[in-house]
Amino acid sequence: MPSNPFSAEVVTAVTRHMNDDHPEDTLVICRGLGGEPDATAARMVDLDSEGGDYVITVEGAERTVRVPWGEPLTERAQIRWEVVRMYRESCRRLGLSPRGEH
């Protein structure tokens, strides 16, 4: 397993924030960058310096998918910027308009 510069508290805070406040963005990321275009639900369950782990639902069944960051992350502030980048890249791959960019 990759090294994890993020404490358990940071992981819990980030995953809770993504799942509570950005579930649609999380799903877009798993569809666009996670190679799961048929996913109907997604939640972030873990993260480390190399990427994020998600539980997705496809055809009623849950499975885990890992989506790597664009580069290794070492600081909490980097996570937000990377998630935004991943969301925008996923939207481009899926032919969607990112929120706020209509």
- 2-11, 14-23, 41-50: least confident range: 2-11
Instruction: Name all domains of the chain by residue range, CATH numbers in brackets.
Output: 8-91 (3.20.180.10)
CA 38, CA 35: separation in Å to the nearest integer?
9
Torsional sign, CA 58, 30, 11, 84: negative
Using DSSP's 3-state secondary structure scheme, residue 46 falls into: strand
Reported as a single tens digit per residue, the pLDDT across 45-90 is 999 999 999 999 999 999 999 999 999 999 999 999 999 999 999 9
